[in-house]
Amino acid sequence: MLAQRRRAMPSSNFELYAWFFMRVSGVILLLIAVFHLMLMHASIGVGNIDFDTIAGRWGSPFWRVYDFFLLAFALTHGINGARYVTDDYIHAQGWRVTVKALLYVVYAIFIGMGAYIIFTFKA
Partner 1 sequence: MAAASDGTLLQGLRYKGREGQWSWLLHRVAGLGVLLFLVLHIFDIFLIGFGRTTFEELLFLYHSPLGRLFEVFLIFAVLFHAVNGLRIIILDFWPGLMEHQQRLVWVEVVVFLIIFLPVAVITLSPIFTGA
- Under the rule (CB under 8 A), what is the footprint of partner 1? 23, 26-27, 29-30, 33-34, 37-38, 41-42, 45-47, 49-51, 54, 71, 74-75, 78-79, 81-82, 85, 89-92, 95, 106, 110, 113-114, 116-117, 120-121
Q: Mutual orientation of helices 61-89 and 14-37 as an angle, nearest 10°?
A: 130
Residue 79 C-beta: closest distance to partner 1, Å = 7
Q: 8 or 46: whose CB is closer to partner 1? A: 46
Nearer to partner 1, 6 or 23 (CB): 23
Of the pair 3, 22, the CB lying nearest partner 1 is at 22
SS (H, E, C) 1-58: CCCCCCCCCCCCCHHHHHHHHHHHHHHHHHHHHHHHHHHHHHHHCHHHCCHHHHHHHC
- Check: CB of residue 70 under 8 Å from CB of residue 37: no
- Shortest distance, position 58 Cβ to partner 1, whole Å: 9
Least separation in angstroms between CB 22 and partner 1:
8
> In whole angstroms, how far apart are CA 117 and each of 22, 32, 59?
26, 19, 13
